[in-house]
Amino acid sequence: MAERAALRALEAEATPAPWRAGELREAPVHPGIGDDGQDECVWCDGGPPVWVGGVGDHPIHRHEVGADHDLYGSEGQRIADAYDYGLDGIVRPEDTRFLAAARNALPGLLDAADERDRLRVVPHAGDRGQALRHLGELGDLALQATARAYRDVADLAEALLEGRRSR
């Protein structure tokens, strides 16, 4: 319980979730500036855009930038970056994705652990009906906590697998 309380305090002081690896940046597309004469923006050297749009004759690309080394908070605030790739921030792309996924899963995992501990409380045996109602409530809490924990673990696994696929 003490470790959980310490984790909750750390979680409460941290940048609010969700976190994400990298940030989305938009740039105008310039005709014929690519190596092979294709239309590109300043971010196209880092990979294909995640969104293409624009207004009228002014195309825009949106790219995910810094996904291997930068962490951003829910309001776009920079949490960690690697300006010179290794001098600051996080060095390994797998660590960046893991930290973002773990940060986002932590509140649900702590809640599930708290609910698990509440399930260990045994009601007084004075009123059989009250004890049965309490057991029913505990069963409902256990199902909810289990479902949340499975979702959190599945989200974490998906984030980690997505990181492996992008390499």
Q: Do 22 and 64 contact (CB within 8 A), yes or no?
A: yes
- Reported as a pLDDT band with limits 50, 70 and 90, residue 167 is very low
Task: Give pLDDT tens digits for 91-147.
Answer: 667 677 778 888 888 888 888 888 888 776 655 556 666 666 766 777 777 777 777
Encoding tokens for residue 5? 């309380």
Crossing angle for the helix pair 93-119 and 128-165, to the nearest 10 degrees:
170
Q: What is the mean pLDDT of residues 11-31?
A: 84
More confident residue, 52 or 128: 52
Instruction: Say what the pLDDT of residue 92 is.
Output: 64
Burial class of residue 20 (count of CB atoms within 10 Å of its CB; 0-12, 13-18, 19+): buried
Q: Do 81 and 89 contact (CB within 8 A), yes or no?
A: yes
- DSSP string over 7-27: HHHHHHHSPPSPPEESEEEEE
Q: What is the mean pLDDT of residues 29-37?
A: 80
Q: Is 98 helix (H, G, I), strand (E, B) or coil?
A: helix
More confident residue, 162 or 12: 12
pTM (2 decimals)? Answer: 0.50
Sequence spans of domains, the chain: 2-15+91-165
